[in-house]
Amino acid sequence: MSNVVIVFNAGSSSLKFTIFKIEKKSIIIKLIKGRIEYDNETFHFLASDHNDQLITQNTFSTKNKEPLEYLFSWLSEHEQGTHHIVGVGHRIVHGGADFVDPVRVTPELLKQLESLTPFAPLHQPQTLAPVHAITKYRPQLPQIVCFDTAFHRSIPDIAQLLPLPRRYGEKGVRRYGFHGLSYDFLSQRLQLIDPELANGRTILAHLGSGASLCALKHGKSFETTMGFSTLDGLMMGSRCGMIDPGALLYMIKEENADWETLVNTLYHQSGLLGVSGISTDMRVLRERLITEADPAIRKHVQQALSLSAYRIVEEIGALAAVMEGIDGLVFTAGIGEHDAELRQTICLALGWLGLKLDTDANQKNAAIISSPGSTIRVRVEPTHEELIICQNVLPFIQSAL
């Protein structure tokens, strides 16, 4: 019987899972990847094999089946009882000031993590939900939580401060940074494939529906664009990114905006969607730019695309300044790995720094897209947050392997 670890990554309307087989106590092999999508009173279950070929797709009523109970029973039936679940890993969006290292779940720990909900009210409850569910269904199963904020604890103390009255800092209101598990994976990956960039001054660009940059210096996070919340920094699919607080005061004063209105506007109606008026999806916007007949709509779409690139270039400049230079740039996540046009726009804008783009390599999404004469090496590298989580689970379950 094979030992397996299940890794969960919870979102607002879906729960992604990856099932890894563990061999010889440390060899990790991906078996299955899937997601559970929630829709009112139903949930959709999808699973693919290690070659990303769909093997199961079902829809159930939540009145008749509990999603996680179904996942465990499906795994047992699909694999005909050949796998023994020895541990579960979770991505938790916020670890606050106290949690840096992965930790095993206990009732007291759950209370502590729930107390951090005011720091991430839209995300913390979602990432804790599967932890609570498994605690109920499989109380003896070891659960390990890993924190998206942990990787950035190495940034200088001065960069963690917010220029607010000190009472807020004493309550934990400070800059934390996010996407840490993705950046942790990339930093380890670079040590294997490009130690020079791993130990130099490299900017990691995690560009997806959520987006941020990390200044990696000597292998550690030196600065990042997200701060107290996942709203800060870059313009995103539906999130505004960095914004003048005066705009929020305007909404409150002139539109009587309450907390829910602000949340809906800043998290769900802004970014690419807000500026374009069309979509949060970069692919949809690029297609619309070609097919749209209305010049006014085309203008709005172009503005959304241009503003997104502009903000990335602007923040790269800021990170290069605090690192006192830049040796490398790494694109990752859905947009970073696949949008050659965005990468080209960004790289051409950084030409004054000595960055020279290999346009053919870029169009092919090659691993290295800078030309040999470039002073900045530019890479495209897939991220793998789930693998990092699984690695962090292993030390806690060695006795069971």
Q: How far apart are CA 7 and CA 150, in angstroms?
A: 18
* Angle at 306 (CA atoms; ends 303, 310), nearest 5 degrees: 130
Closest CA to 184 of 227, 223, 221, 145: 221
Closest CA to 312 of 185, 181, 161, 208: 208
Neighbours of 150 (CB within 10 A): 22
Decide: 168 and 141 in contact? Cβ < 8 Å. no
52 is catalytic: no
- Residue type, position 386, single letter: E
Tokens coding 290: 């070609």
Q: How far apart are CA 147 and CA 187, in angstroms?
A: 16
Question: Cα dist. 166→172, 231, 311 in Å?
Answer: 10, 22, 30
Residue appearing with tokens 């009882």? 81
Beta bridge partners of 15: 10, 36
Alpha-helical (H) ranges within 119-244 are 124-137, 157-160, 166-170, 180-193, 195-198
* Secondary structure (3-state) at 94: coil
Q: How far apart are CA 178 and CA 93, in angstroms?
A: 7
Q: How far apart are CA 78 and CA 81, in angstroms?
A: 8
Residue appearing with tokens 């079902």? 58
Burial 288-303, CB ≥16 within 10 A → b, else e: bbeebeeeeeeebbbe
Q: How far apart are CA 307 and CA 360, in angstroms?
A: 25
> What kind and span of H or E run contains 328?
strand 328-332
* Angle at 194 (CA atoms; ends 193, 198), nearest 5 degrees: 120
DSSP state, residue 368: B
Q: How far apart are CA 34 and CA 57, in angstroms?
A: 10
Which one is catalytic: 98, 148, 244, 258?
A: 148
Report the catalytic residues.
148
